[in-house]
Amino acid sequence: MARFRWRLQRVLDVGKKQEQQRQAELMQIAEQLQGVRRSLLAEEKKLQQMLLEIHGKPASERVAAQSFFMSICSGTDGRIRELKHQQELLEKLRVKKVGQLVELKRYNEGLEKLREKSKADFEQELHRMEQAELDEAARTGFARKLSGARA
C-alpha cells in the first residue's frame, strides 16, 4: 500500500518551528514586562512608605524629613519615568509579536487544512484503485468460471 507524502510538509514543519520560536519570544517579553511592572510597583511603594513615615513624625522632625524626601523623590521620579517608558516599549513589542504569532498560526492552519484535504484525496484515490483491482479480479474470476462451464 502506498504511503501518503505531502510535498509541502517541510514548509509546515518550518512554520511550526517558527510558531514555537515566536511563542518563546512572547513569553520572554512577558517575563520582562512583568519584571518592569514589579520594579515600578516597588518604587511607587517605596515613595508611599516614605510619605507615611514622614506623616507619622512630629512637626519638628517633619520639615527635615520632607526636605530629605524631596531630594530623594526627584531621582525616584526619574526611575519611575524610565520604568514606565520601558513598560510602554515592551507592551508595544508584545502587541507586535502577538500579531506576528496570530498571522503565523493562521498560515499554519491553512497549510494543515491543505494537508488534510490532500490526504483525503489520496485516500479516496487509493480506495478507487483498490476497488478497481477488486472489480478486475471479480471479472477475471467470473470469466474463468464462465469459460470453465463451457469446456
The x, y and z cell numbers of residue 69, run together, are 524626601
The x, y and z cell numbers of residue 91, run together, are 507592551
For residue range 91-102, what is the model confidence (pLDDT) as tens digits?
Answer: 999 999 999 999
The x, y and z cell numbers of residue 78, run together, are 526619574
The x, y and z cell numbers of residue 61, run together, are 522632625
What number is the average pLDDT over the span 54-66?
Answer: 81
pTM of the model: 0.71
Which residue in 7, 11, 1 sits closest to 119, CA to CA?
A: 7
How many beta carbons lie within 10 A of that of residue 92, not counting itself? 10
Spatial distance between the Cα atoms of 32 and 28, rounded to a whole number of angstroms: 6
Long-range contacts of the stretch 16-20 (C-beta < 8 A, 24+):
16/108, 18/104, 19/101, 19/104, 19/105, 19/108
What number is the average pLDDT over the span 104-132?
Answer: 96
